[in-house]
Amino acid sequence: MSIDPPGYELPLRLFLGFRVLIDELHAELARQGHPHARPMHGFVMQAIGTEGTTAVELGRALGVSKQAAGKTIETLERLGYVERARDSRDTRRKIVRLTPSGVDMLVRSARIFDDLRARWAAVIGDERLRELEADLRKVTPQEVFRLDVPGWFGA
């Protein structure tokens, strides 16, 4: 019978695991020509998708206010990852779409995440990693996007 660790270690390790992956992703993204990508950009652009979206829709998808979504879109636009165009059928709306640079960043992120996952598998084993993922799925919500995170994403 092994002794259970104190309960506070679990959130700490989950957070550290997240941080390790995110930090390594962005170090590699910077090497691959995306030095200005910030941790939340990938998540937001994933939520934008290939179809495009609007600030209000994006805010709802991410669980934040439309104003917050609008500011993030502004930042992504300045970085050249998205572009906005008026909707001809509803001139109130502005459709946000990924640029080729934005798509490139997402494609590279996906590849880098796959590589990082493989590195974890090499350390703890294929089967254990699949179990870890399966267990986490059981204790986390299915709706995956929820990003009202202040400073935890770090630099």
Partner DNA sequence: TAAGATAGACAACGTCGTTGTCGGTAATAG
Partner DNA sequence: CTATTACCGACAACGACGTTGTCTATCTTA
Three-state DSSP class for residue 152: coil
**Among 92, 114, 138, 144, contact with DNA (rule: CB under 7 A):** 92
Q: Which residues make Cβ contacts (< 8 Å) with residue 14, sequence separation at least 6?
A: none
120 binds, among a second copy, DNA, none (CB under 5 to 8 A by kind): a second copy
Give the C-alpha separation, 81 to 8, whole Å.
Answer: 38
Of 10 and 30, nearer to a second copy (C-beta) is 10
Q: Which stretch binds DNA (CB under 7 A): 27-35, 107-115, 121-129, 142-150?
A: 142-150
Give the C-alpha separation, 120 to 82, whole Å.
Answer: 32
Give the C-alpha separation, 79 to 101, whole Å.
Answer: 9
Of 14 and 27, nearer to a second copy (C-beta) is 14
Where do contacts with DNA occur on this chain (CB under 7 A)? 38, 40-41, 54-57, 59, 62-68, 70-72, 75, 84, 89-95, 147-151, 153, 155
